[in-house]
Chains A and B, each alone.
Chain A
Amino acid sequence: MLSNKERKFLEDTARRLRERIVEVTYSCGGTHIGGAMSQHELLIALYYKYLNIDPTNPRWPNRDRFVLSKGHGGVGHAVILADKGFFDTALLDDFNKTGSPFGMHLDWQTVPGVDVSTGSLGHGLPLALGMALGGRQQGLDYHVYCVMSDGELQEGSIWEAAMAASQFKATNLTAFVDRNKFSLDGPTESIMALEPLDKKFEAFGWRVLSIDGHDFDQICEAIETAQAEKEKPVIIIADTIKGKGIDFMENQAAWHYAGVDAAMRDKALESIRKMK
């Protein structure tokens, strides 16, 4: 259980940075805002409570690793990295603009705090597994966290890595599925059904935890359970809402990628401020 103070801190931070994502989306003309909103609490919990990282030394060898396999959520990741002090927040004003360090998908060479370049779906889990095995190989006790989208699970490469992670007992790897139930074209279940997703991962040898992906108590409890697990890799299937917090975007496939004008921005900010 989180203390009230801790929960409030996480919720306030989440709200504040949601607003930042909206601002960036407004200034750069468009982002993958729907998925940035659904993944948000997972990233906030990791970055503000669990990840052992040093913004002044982004490549510190003992740091915990974070892989945003759903690279199109980069805008949400960038906002957090800036807030953590990996780089000057003002740089975000140029997000995805010509000459800026940020493309829509974050690049390991230009954005401090980013370990791997993603953007093409299905690459994160194999990489995260290798990084986890590498840590074990070198006797370092960092943990690797990997956030995937649900549409991304349609890529076969994810399941090759899923098989290997349990084969190699990669218990220093924790994966998340941002289960917002939408991919780009529409609902996952009508396009290429993933359910029963928990049973699939169980059959692949994982310990599966199913939670509400916007509830910090559940997220934190699941992460701590995963950290303590010593037999199997753990996957946290986080039930989320695409567009979460922005009432007119929630559960709308059309907001997978979009821009907002000034009026929409204001409506979005207003909606976010009303979140608990």
Chain B
Amino acid sequence: MKLLLPQPQEAYGPYKQALIALGKANPKVVVLGADLGVSTEIDGFKAEFPDRFFNVGAAEQNEIGIAAGLAFEGDIPFVHSFGVFLTRRAYEQVCVQVAMHRANVKLVGVIPGLTSRLGPTHQAIDDLALMRTLPSMTVIDPADATEITQLVPAIAEYDGPVYVRMMRREVPVLFDPQAYKFEIGKAVQLAGGKDVLLVTTGMMLSNTLKAAKALEDQGIRASVLHSPTVKPLDSQAILDLAATCKAVVTVENHLTAGGLGSAVAELLGDQLPLPLKRVGVADTFAAPGSPEYLFERYGLDATSIVNAAVASKMVR
């Protein structure tokens, strides 16, 4: 079955719609915001369900605490801010109040990685790392609108803390909503070449698919595995596919430290040592700028993935 649409399309605000739909389906869902209502696409839910909506003001630490308390009492809180503020700002609150208590809180941090135009205070390039190292936390980085639409009910169904990196406004539709089925903890294979395995998460899927095509033109056949769940990692899928390839490249809109690349490095180091290259932001805070510029400057574009794949094979 073909999972990808023949041509990528675009959807507007899939999260906003999915949250309203979830609100209708599940009366236990409550929504918290921190003075970023429209920016986090929770205004639609607020209009439909004002009694299940809390704006705590610019107070992310308090927002987490209130959410955890609500979860203790049986609600399913969806908590919102820019990704940086939920993770960096409220980290200990997330650790102690949410993760240690396995509180059924869903953290939704918008504007992944270098897509923020507001500079380093607003670029969540470390959120996957911060959330991944918390025991009991599930970490999800969706690639497109289809995944967003499907993951919202899925994480509400799942009992436990979840962090999602959310895209907003114009979001590509890559997966065919009819054919695709999102499952927490499951990676999906999109190509099966035997030279190099490209493991990608989040919005990097688009560039990874472009890179796979460019590699093919150079006679390098790539496998592509999209891993929307960064934790728990779909270790079996990665190991199975890696075993058929000569090298592995990880691709993420995040620091090369701590996120998907680190998770895959740990897995391969433990079980299947292979040449590995990690595509992501090196050990630096990024400049402000347009996403296109930043992706090129910090090596997240398709060319950088191609170069990493070529280099990974050279290691052998």
Contacts and interface: CB of A to CB of B under 8 A. Distances in A.
A105 B121 contact: yes
A152 B58 contact: yes
B58 A154 contact: yes
A156 B62 CA distance: 8
A254 to B, nearest CB: 10
Contacts of A225: none
Interface string B38-62: 1100000000000000011111111
B163 interface: no
A71 B57 contact: no
Given A185-B36, A191-B35, A71 B62 contact: no
A96 interface: yes
Nearest to B88: A120
Nearest to B46: A185
Interface residues of B, number: 29
A151 B37 CA distance: 14
A104 B35 contact: no
Interface in B247-303: 287-290, 293
Select the residue from B58, B287, B290 with max chain A CB neighbours within 10 A. Answer: B58
Given A96-B288, A99-B293, A185-B37, A122 B118 contact: no
Interface string A181-208: 0011100100110000000000000000
A117 to B, nearest CB: 7
A185 B120 contact: no
A122 B59 CA distance: 9
A119 B118 contact: yes
A156 B58 CA distance: 9
Given A96-B288, A156-B61, A183-B58, A119 B122 contact: yes
A104 B293 contact: no
A158 to B, nearest CB: 10
Interface in B80-103: 84-85, 88-89
Contacts of A118: 121
Nearest to A122: B58
Interface in B213-272: none
Interface in A136-152: 151-152
B85 to A, nearest CB: 7
A119 B119 CA distance: 8
B119 A103 contact: yes
A99 B289 contact: yes
A107 B121 CA distance: 10
Contact of A104 (B59, B85, B118): B118
Interface in A98-145: 98-99, 102-105, 107, 117-122
B117 interface: yes
Given A99-B293, A183-B57, A154 B122 contact: no
B83 to A, nearest CB: 12
Nearest to A194: B57
Given A119-B118, A184-B37, A192-B58, 18 more contacts: A102-B288, A103-B120, A103-B287, A104-B288, A105-B118, A107-B119, A120-B85, A151-B57, A152-B58, A154-B35, A154-B56, A183-B58, A184-B39, A185-B33, A185-B37, A191-B35, A192-B35, A192-B55
11 contacts: A71-B121, A96-B117, A105-B118, A107-B119, A117-B120, A151-B35, A154-B58, A155-B59, A155-B60, A184-B35, A185-B35
